[in-house]
Every structure is written in structure tokens, then in C-alpha cells.
Structure 1
Amino acid sequence: MNNMSPARLTELAHGGGCGCKLAPSVLQALLANQPGAGPFPQLLVGAETADDAAVWKVDENLTVLATTDFFMPMVDDPRDFGRIAATNAISDIYAMGGRPIMALAILGMPINKLAPEVIREILAGGASVCAEAGIPVAGGHSIDSPEPIYGLAVIGLGRPDQLRRNTGARPGDALILTKGLGVGHYSAAIKRGALPDGAYAEMLASTTLLNRIGGELSGDAAVHGITDVTGFGLLGHALEMARGSGVTLRLDAAAVPRLAHAAALAWEGFVTGASHRNWDSYGDAIALPEGCPDWQRHLLCDPQTSGGLLIACDGTRADALVERIRAAGYPMAARIGEAVAGEARVVVTGSLAGR
């Protein structure tokens, strides 16, 4: 019999979800002097462009994709934590145009603070999402750690001609976002016990929605680039795409989808520390409209745990692709901007409506 007192998972962690990620500038500094991947011509994608997964070419028809993602809890329900973390990890494979085939669990738990049944529920939540994606949890590794950590290493397969990177945007492309922003603001409200009624279910529906549409769209020649929007916020991941593609991305703030309470929570000050770190990392490469209020900036910088896909596609096909994405189960998908010739930066126009 276990006599441990129940503990809120979020109280055991100093951060949560993709808000745990190191700021872009910190990560860049840490990787600055690391050796390159070396003379491996079969390594199609490594760490050089901050893409979503590594890609190894087996032959002319087959690639192997590999990624890992893990974080501390952003919710208190252990099964939901496992589901969100697994969905987020698998997303990297879909974002590269691949198909996941198996996962390995990554587990770090304060075993003197959490009952075994709680940890089992985290693992069960992750396994349930893997089952939904049609893949096994084939193994893993666990440690005793001071804060709860869970995630997956995921292996996938793809075709070289269907590989989609964050470097593929072209001048004239339209930009599509498949999920609404605001997960970090919801997470901050959860920490303070202030999330509005009904908001948890909305957030859970978004963060456990697999981004499998990325793998489906990769076979469409009109889709030129894909990346998933996670801890660096919409602006941070858009900037990675702009830099990797050598273009300017213009985002229409009024067109950006968001969760129902995201704007109100941002305006009320439910902001994660990662939002501030993200903004400080962008430098002069992000241009906001004159007089942009802080709450709108925070929403655009908000770290998204298991966020949507940012897609660069032929502008003449964008509206049809949005309809296809919505019909596939992503009702908030929207056309949010365009890629134009120019220096690698992100320019935001317009204003988020209301709060």
C-alpha cells in the first residue's frame, strides 16, 4: 500500500511543456563550437538548420527519420501529461513528411515524491497516443530525477522526394498554420489555478491532436516547407523558416488562429517565462507593428506545447489546402501570411482582434 500524499505534477517542476526549452539564443550559443556531422553524404538533415528531425538516406526510395522530445509537466493529470508529451514528440516526424514506425520512452521521475501508479498513468497516456499513431513503444530508459520528465525518441520512414524541411519556403508562397496559439498562456493559468471553465478540454483537444496531416501533405508538390510550432513560439519558428529559406516571412496578425481564451489570458498577464526569453532571442530579425501591445507580442511569442504545423505552399493552392487540412480534422487551420524575397526576417502586420 502506498501512503504518499498526492502531489500536483506542475508543483514538482520549475517549468512545463515546451516552455522548458532553452531560449533560441542560448541554444545557438551552446551549439556554436560543436563539430559538424562530418563527411556523411547520406545524412540529408542534421543539426545545421534547426530542423525538426534528423534524416538519413538509405537509398533512392527510403529515408529514416529520428527525433527526440521530452519535457516537464504542464498539466496535473498524469495520463494527460503522457498524452501531450507523446503527441508533441511524434509531431517532429510528421513535420518532416515522414511516417512514424516506433518510439522509445524517456522517463525521469522523483520516485520519492510520486506514487508508482501516477508514473504508470503517465506511461499509459503516452502509449495510448502511440497506439493511435499506429506505433509501438518498443523500449526506453528511466532515471530517478528531481523533477518529473517524460517524452519519446521516435523513429520514422519517408521518401527522399517527399522530405519537407523548414528551409523550403519560396517567394510567393502562402503560409498556413494548422492549430491555434495560446497553449503557453493556458499552461500559465493552470499553474495559478485560474484556467476558465471549459478551457482545459479545449487545450487538451489541441495538444493531443496528432499532426499526421504533415505526412499526408508531403506528397503534394505544392507544399514546399513544413515545421511544427513549439517552444520558440510562432515568431521563433517562423524566423527559423525565414533564415533557412533565405526569405522574408510576412505574418498577418489578424489572421492568426488562437484558442478561445488565449488573448484574454495574455492580456491578464498569464505569460510564461519562455515567452520573454523567446522575444529577447529574436533581436532585430522580428518587426512588429508600431504600438503593438505587450499582450499581442506575448501571444505571438507564446511557447506552444504540441502546437500546429507552419506550412509554406504555392500561393495559388493555399485556399484549397486550408480546406483540405480543415476537412482532415484541424478546424482552426488558416492562411496567415506569405513569403517574399528579402532578407531573412519576420514582419508582422495588422493586429490581433479583441481580447
Structure 2
Amino acid sequence: MTAPTQAPAASEPRLTTLAHGGGCGCKIAPDVLSRILRETAVLPAPPELLVGIETSDDAAVYRLNDSQALIATTDFFMPIVDDPRDFGRIAATNALSDVYAMGGRPILALALVGMPVGTLSTATIGAILDGGASVCAAAGIPVAGGHSIDSVEPIYGLVALGLVHPDQVRSNAGARPGDVLILGKPLGVGVMSGALKKGVLSATAYAQMIATTTRLNTPGPALAALGGVHAMTDVTGFGLCGHALEMTRGSGCDLQIDWAAVPLLPGVRDLAAAGHVTGASGRNWASCRDGVVLGDGISDLDRALLTDPQTSGGLLVACAPEAAARVLAIFAEAGFAEAAQIGRVGAPSADPRLTIL
């Protein structure tokens, strides 16, 4: 039995057929984005801006006072699944993840909606928004407004705002020599979404994909409150390789990932071997290959999974070795049974590299 691909009305097209890409695989490739941003004028940052664009972090953080900083982020994309409510749930979970990744708690969201109004029914569009609102309700926040346009391709996401104590902000640039790396969710969402678009993803695999992409990264604030946690980011469209490389460069330290320790969603390796690898995986590798060293045992298939674009992926945490057990316990207590220690932080370097062994 294959995964569900229905739309509310039989006359409507599948959501994924209306988009040239899906989920975080729609992201502009990191090297292209870097060239675009280099050509953009940057104003001097005020001292209250604790985190800006310098290290390609998950969100901006602005100090309000001695005990509060505002986290501001936005994330939106085209359909990764055909079920409209699931699409809304995944997009909202993914957007809120950036707040958790900075160590904060969400306080409100604004909806960003672009829909082909003449192609999709109001019932389908409403189901997308309802899915997103249900995730916000689970996070304990309101959808307090937003903006909508008539668009050729369906687009949905959120502006997400959160609060964090300034001392508990955890950026992707704080990893320290000797830290260990812990990943909160298994990889493979991009491969599964590729199989879904081709109609070969099983109902069981679809359920696993939805379960991981709609699980809020709520451990973020508790992890940030641990003194031994030094850096966090969430693994999304640039894949584990791309986001770990951002941590490598932002922290100025070499990082090493033990590929055999990285958790994968069930059946993903077989799906990838059958050819269900997204185009974004190749773009991600082209963007990060200059900063990555692959060990002799890393195959082309392994590389594709390392660069597989994750939608609503897990938190990547750099922490002191003595804090690792507590980090894993916090993940487990929140239902992240697959969380695993996957690597370590090496020495400072003028030209830091990510090594995959």
C-alpha cells in the first residue's frame, strides 16, 4: 500500500504537482545565496542585535532588556506532501524550529500564504492553514495575523517570534574544542519526499515521515539552559553536511562526524539506492564540498544522504562531554528516541573543515 496522495476534492490536482520543488529542498543553494548576500548592502548592526546574518544562523536575536531577547525568523516553502493539512503542519513545525534552535520559546506567529486561488479550492487552502494553526496551538501560541497573495505555486509558512534570556541564546557559532555533537532527529526526509512524488512511498513510511516532520523541537529551551550546551542549530534544507559546515565555520573549529552513528529513518537507505535522491542533494554538495573532507569509506550514496535536504529536521547540539548524557535524556523525555551522539568538535583552525568518517 502506498502513501496517501489525496486532495479534498477529486477535481483538484495533487499539491506536489503544482510546485517545482518541495519543503526545504526549495531553498536557494548555499553558494548562490552567499553570492546574493555579498552583493547586498549591510547597515551597521546595533549592539542590541545579538545574532544577525554573519554566521548564517537560524534566526535573528535582538536584546530587549537584561532578561529578555526577541527571536525573529521566517520560513515558508512549497508542498512536500499532497495532504493539505499535513503540508500546513509540516511547514509550521519547520518555521517554529528556528526559535527552539536559538534556545527560545515561541510567543506568536504570522501566517505567510501564497495560493493558486483559481486552481485550489477554499477548502483545500483552509485545510493547509488549519494544519499550521494546529501546530501553533500545540506550541501554545496564536496565529496573530499574516499576509496572503494569489500565487502560481502554493506557498505556506510562518513568521515566528520568540523570547529567550540573553544569556541562554545558543547560536550555531559557539561550539568549543572537545565538545561532542548530538543530533535530535534521523535523516532521510528528502529521500522520502522524492519517493512520495513518484508514488512509491509506503503508507508506513509516510506515517514515519509525518511523525518526524511534525514533531516540534521543544527540547531547545531546556538544552540552552544547560551550562554545558555551547551551540545549536537545526538541520534543514542544506542537509546535515551543510548545516554542520555552518557550525564548523561559525565556531572556527574543525568538526568530525561519525557517519555510522548518524540515525536514518527506516528504509531510507534502500529508497536512496533505488534512485529517490532529490536534486537539492547535489546542489548542497556542490555548495559545501570545498569545506568537507570525506573519509575513504564514504560512498556516493552516503554523500547523498549527508546532503539530503531535511524539512523540519532535528537539532544539532554541541555540548561538553560531561553534558552529553543529560542532553540525550532531555531529548528522550520529549519523545526523541532516535537522538544520538554523532561526532565531536576538534581544534580551532584558520581554515576549519568538516570531516566525515
Q: TM-score range by the shorter chain?
A: over 0.9
Displacement of 1:3 in angstroms is 8.5
Displacement of 1:37 in angstroms is 3.9
Distance, in Å, in 2 between the alignment partners of 1:16 and 1:335 is: 29
| SS at structure 2 position matched to 1:198 | helix
Matches within 5 A, 1:277-316: 277-290=283-296, 292-316=298-322
Gaps spanning 5+ residues in structure 1: where?
350-355
* Residue 169 of structure 1, aligned match among 168, 175, 198: 175
Structure 1 length as normaliser, TM-score?
Answer: 0.96
Distance, in Å, in 2 between the alignment partners of 1:58 and 1:139 is: 23
Distance, in Å, in 1 between the alignment partners of 2:64 and 2:129 is: 32
User: One-letter code of the match for 1:90?
Assistant: L
User: 1:106 corresponds to which residue?
Assistant: 112
Gaps spanning 5+ residues in structure 2: where?
1-7
Q: Judge conservation of contact 2:88–2:130 (CA < 8 Å) in 1.
A: yes
Stretch moving more, 280-289 or 48-57: 280-289
* Residue 90 of structure 1, aligned match among 84, 96, 100: 96
For residues 281-315 of structure 1, the C-alpha deviation after alignment (integer angstroms, 9 at most, x for no partner) is 01321111225221111000000000000000001
Q: Judge conservation of contact 1:266–1:296 (CA < 8 Å) in 2.
A: no
Displacement of 1:39 in angstroms is 4.1
Determine whether 1:57 maps to 2:63.
yes
Displacement of 1:108 in angstroms is 0.3
| SS at structure 1 position matched to 2:284 | helix
Determine whether 1:227 maps to 2:227.
no
Stretch moving more, 30-39 or 249-258: 30-39
Distance, in Å, in 2 between the alignment partners of 1:17 and 1:63 is: 29
* Residue 135 of structure 1, aligned match among 116, 133, 141: 141
| SS at structure 2 position matched to 1:104 | strand
* Residue 345 of structure 1, aligned match among 309, 332, 353: 353
Q: Judge conservation of contact 1:4–1:113 (CA < 8 Å) in 2.
A: no
Displacement of 1:149 in angstroms is 0.2
Matches within 5 A, 1:220-299: 220-290=226-296, 292-299=298-305
User: 1:68 corresponds to which residue?
Assistant: 74
Distance, in Å, in 2 between the alignment partners of 1:157 and 1:88 is: 17
Distance, in Å, in 1 between the alignment partners of 2:225 and 2:42 is: 30
Stretch moving more, 313-322 or 123-132: 313-322
Distance, in Å, in 2 between the alignment partners of 1:108 and 1:235 is: 30
Distance, in Å, in 2 between the alignment partners of 1:36 and 1:283 is: 27
Distance, in Å, in 2 between the alignment partners of 1:8 and 1:253 is: 36
| SS at structure 2 position matched to 1:303 | coil
User: One-letter code of the match for 2:93?
Assistant: T
User: One-letter code of the match for 1:344?
Assistant: P
For residues 222-247 of structure 1, the C-alpha deviation after alignment (integer angstroms, 9 at most, x for no partner) is 10000000000000000000000000
Distance, in Å, in 2 between the alignment partners of 1:247 and 1:267 is: 33
Stretch moving more, 52-61 or 285-294: 285-294
Q: How many corresponding residue pairs?
A: 348
Distance, in Å, in 2 between the alignment partners of 1:345 and 1:131 is: 41
Alpha-carbon spacing, 1:3–1:334, altered in 2? closer, same or farther (3 Å): closer
User: One-letter code of the match for 1:177?
Assistant: L
Displacement of 1:266 in angstroms is 1.0
User: One-letter code of the match for 2:310?
Assistant: Q
| SS at structure 1 position matched to 2:149 | strand
Determine whether 1:30 maps to 2:36.
yes
For residues 48-79 of structure 1, the C-alpha deviation after alignment (integer angstroms, 9 at most, x for no partner) is 11001101101111101100000000100000
| SS at structure 1 position matched to 2:157 | strand
User: 1:156 corresponds to which residue?
Assistant: 162
Q: Judge conservation of contact 1:242–1:346 (CA < 8 Å) in 2.
A: yes
Displacement of 1:192 in angstroms is 0.2
* Two-structure CA RMSD over aligned residues (Å): 1.3
| SS at structure 2 position matched to 1:59 | coil
Matches within 5 A, 1:168-187: 168-187=174-193
For residues 115-136 of structure 1, the C-alpha deviation after alignment (integer angstroms, 9 at most, x for no partner) is 1100000000000000000000
